[in-house]
């Protein structure tokens, strides 16, 4: 059984249809990239996955449970956890308080255990537990946002544009971290515009254009596609 099965999803806002029959499949422990330029429909797809937007057609099944059109709280309780674009940390709360909010709807009884694991993954956060989150650098805030997601013991972690706004050096660090999380057995859906680096670490990838999947396959297959390389890698 697939971890996540999305079939023929249509969704939009009012009379404007953004997603036009999107299908995507993930297995447990996989790192799958959903790639595409700005305006391709990735954010709308994330909203559907997270229970923030109800699809007009299609089905979303997670670990055998039909989550189509269910509330965001139900989605979180099922273990489908999103780290949103732009980090969305609480700037006036401390690092500790931000992390504790991560287990508000799920895994609250294992807060201490999960906190220790997160701080082991992100030693830099351990040094800043009482610091206000808004005073940290962009890279540290992204670590905090991912750490907050991990506090909920995700069955699937969705990372939405984690490299956005980071310096090239921090982007390298972020992708190395994502690779380590995947090696720990965590299933990750990486939603990114950064095609080249995403394909370096992903098992498989889907490329979205105009609300539809244009390419799909293993990273090796996609990197061998002349059409994809010309369109997205400029080679």
Residue 44 lies in a domain: yes
Looking at residue 229, what is its pLDDT? 86
pLDDT in tens, 136-183: 999 899 999 999 999 999 999 999 999 988 888 989 999 999 999 999
Residues 173, 117 share a domain: no
Q: Which of 152, 174, 197 is the last residue of a domain?
A: 152
Looking at residue 155, what is its pLDDT? 96
Residues 203, 220 share a domain: yes
Which residues make Cβ contacts (< 8 Å) with residue 143, sequence separation at least 6?
122, 124, 125, 177
Residue 16 lies in a domain: yes
The model's pTM is 0.94
Give the β-pairing of 204-209 and 212-218: antiparallel
Q: Are 51 and 74 in contact (CB under 8 A)?
A: yes
52, 62, 108: which is closest to 84 by C-alpha? 52
Looking at residue 231, what is its pLDDT? 84
Looking at residue 46, what is its pLDDT? 95
**3-class secondary structure, 220:** helix
d(CA 228, CA 235) in angstroms, rounded, equals 9
SS (H, E, C) 156-188: EEEEECCCCCCCHHHHHHHHHHHHHHHHCCCEE
Residues 61, 114 share a domain: no
Q: Which of 101, 132, 152 is the last residue of a domain?
A: 152
């Amino acid at each position: 059984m697939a971890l996540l099965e999305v079939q023929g999803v249509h969704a939009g806002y009012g009379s404007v249809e953004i997603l036009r029959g999107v299908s995507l499949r993930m297995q447990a422990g996989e790192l799958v990239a959903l790639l595409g330029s700005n305006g391709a429909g990735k954010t709308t797809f994330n909203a559907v996955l997270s229970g923030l937007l109800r699809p007009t057609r299609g089905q979303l099944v997670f670990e055998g449970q039909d989550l189509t059109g269910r509330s965001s709280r139900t989605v979180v309780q099922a273990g489908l956890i999103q780290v949103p674009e732009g980090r969305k940390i609480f700037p006036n709360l401390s690092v500790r308080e931000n992390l504790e909010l991560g287990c508000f709807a799920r895994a609250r009884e294992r807060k201490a255990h999960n906190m220790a694991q997160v701080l082991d993954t992100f030693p830099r956060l351990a040094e800043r537990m009482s610091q206000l989150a808004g005073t940290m650098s962009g890279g540290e805030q992204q670590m905090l946002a991912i750490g907050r997601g991990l506090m909920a013991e995700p069955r699937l972690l969705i990372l939405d544009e984690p490299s956005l706004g980071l310096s090239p050096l921090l982007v390298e660090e972020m992708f190395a971290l994502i690779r380590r999380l995947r090696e720990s057995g965590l299933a990750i859906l990486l939603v990114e515009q950064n095609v080249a680096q995403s394909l370096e670490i992903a098992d498989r990838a889907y490329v979205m254009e105009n609300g539809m999947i244009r390419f799909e396959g293993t990273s090796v297959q996609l990197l061998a596609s002349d059409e994809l390389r010309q369109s997205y890698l400029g080679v």
